[in-house]
Amino acid sequence: MNNKNNNENVLNNAPSRDFKYTKKLNEQLNKARAKAKSALNLAHILDLKKPLAEKALQEVNLNQGQLYTQLTQADLKRFAQKVIALKKDFTGRKIQGGITPNAIIARSRQIDIKRCQDEIHTVQAIRLEKDGVIHFRTNASKKYGATHHIVSVQFLNFQAALTAEKITNDFLNAYMKGAVKFDCDCGRHRFWYRYIATVGGFAYGTLETAFPKVRNPELTGLACKHVIRVMHTLARNPSALRQAVKMHIARYRKDPNQVAKTFTKKQVQQHTHKATDKAIRKPNERMLREVSLFIKEKAKQMSLSTREKAMAKLGFMLARGEITAKDFHAASKKLLWK
Ligand SMILES: [Zn+2]
């Protein structure tokens, strides 16, 4: 087989090597992050008394570089409102402290879904840890020099699974679709989405308190292409990953204080899934159908403020990439003129 140029086949390193590398890289980046004077620790600044808050903001602006717009107190207020709105949305949907793989995909931007569909096709379970954590390795797009990425997933039903009934396939299927916390070592997750995961209480490992003021000030989207691939695969529970999950639970049932296990190069082959499906999520249809139906039934008796709320919801869906601009215009027209 001549597949040298195929980026699916670059997962040649021993899992332990890649895991150590990622761990070290994360430590370095976290250190740099702690020193970064341009980081906007929004909640912290909002806690400060006015003169101190002004000073802190000045410091952020000074260190941000001149290419960026200078932030004002009004920007901070706007950012804070975004965070409050996002928190409300999470609580309203009962997403707190954990989120299911399907909900992660539903809240992801269409652009990340597309990148995942086009570029990321291999998932491997590489390391089993206590507290319900499995580290997965995916291929990288190779555009930025990386050969792989590591997505860490903490299964929140782990403790219950250790004491539950026999581990059947049905049991595993439900478990793999259950609530998780997650993390990815890529820049997209770090700079766009880790803050959102922290707001929702489902960030695994490193938390992020710096508001993504430059890259994602609207706080839209949720998962990078690597996380999307892992979550999509988990939700479909293919046998290669199901076996790893089963092994994970069985290992800690026997001894909850068991040490972590990293698979060898040879072992990991058995826990490798190659995704062949194309469409992870077609843009929006289900949600748009729901909203359209809602508008159709309700628009006539809706008060003006309810219509405004519905418009805001549409705007939110558009920003999250769940509906296209065309869909947005069609739906909002109906809403405004019925
Ligand atoms: Zn990633």
Average pLDDT, the chain: 88
- Token pair, residue 264, equals 């060898």
171 alpha carbon – ligand 1 mean position (Å): 28
Per-residue pLDDT band at 7 (split at 50, 70, 90): very low
230 alpha carbon – ligand 1 mean position (Å): 10
- Token pair, residue 49, equals 């008394």
Q: How far is CA 25 from the centre of its chain?
A: 20
- How far are the Cα atoms of 127, 224, 245 from residue 20, in angstroms, in the given order? 11, 21, 22
Question: What pLDDT is attached to residue 327?
Answer: 75
* Element of type H or E holding 292: helix 285-298
Per-residue pLDDT band at 320 (split at 50, 70, 90): low
For the CA atoms of 310, 315, 320, 323, the dihedral, rounded to the nearest 10 degrees, stands at 80
161 alpha carbon – ligand 1 mean position (Å): 28
* pLDDT tens column, 118-155: 999 999 999 999 999 999 999 998 777 788 999 999 99
With 70 as the cut, is the pLDDT of residue 10 above it?
no
With 60 as the cut, is the pLDDT of residue 244 above it?
yes
59 alpha carbon – ligand 1 mean position (Å): 30
The arithmetic mean of pLDDT across residues 321-335, rounded, is 74
Question: What pLDDT is attached to residue 254?
Answer: 93
With 80 as the cut, is the pLDDT of residue 301 above it?
no
- Token pair, residue 171, equals 């049991």
Going by C-alpha positions, the residue among 323, 315, 8, 39 that lies closest to residue 147 is 8
The arithmetic mean of pLDDT across residues 292-320, rounded, is 72
The domain locations on the chain are: 7-29+95-274, 285-337
User: CA–CA separation, 73 vs 57, rounded Å?
Assistant: 8
Share of the chain above pLDDT 90, in %: 65
166 alpha carbon – ligand 1 mean position (Å): 34
The beta-strand segments (E) located in 156-271 are: 180-184, 261-262
323 alpha carbon – ligand 1 mean position (Å): 23
- The environment of the single-atom ion ligand 1, i.e. residues with CB closer than 5 A, is 149, 184, 186, 189, 224, 226
- Token pair, residue 37, equals 């004077």
Please indicate whether residue 159 or residue 276 has the higher confidence score (pLDDT): 159
Tell me 192's DSSP state. Answer: I
337 alpha carbon – ligand 1 mean position (Å): 42
261 φ, ψ to 5°? -125, 125
- Prediction pTM value: 0.83
With 90 as the cut, is the pLDDT of residue 65 above it?
no
With 50 as the cut, is the pLDDT of residue 26 above it?
yes
With 50 as the cut, is the pLDDT of residue 5 above it?
no
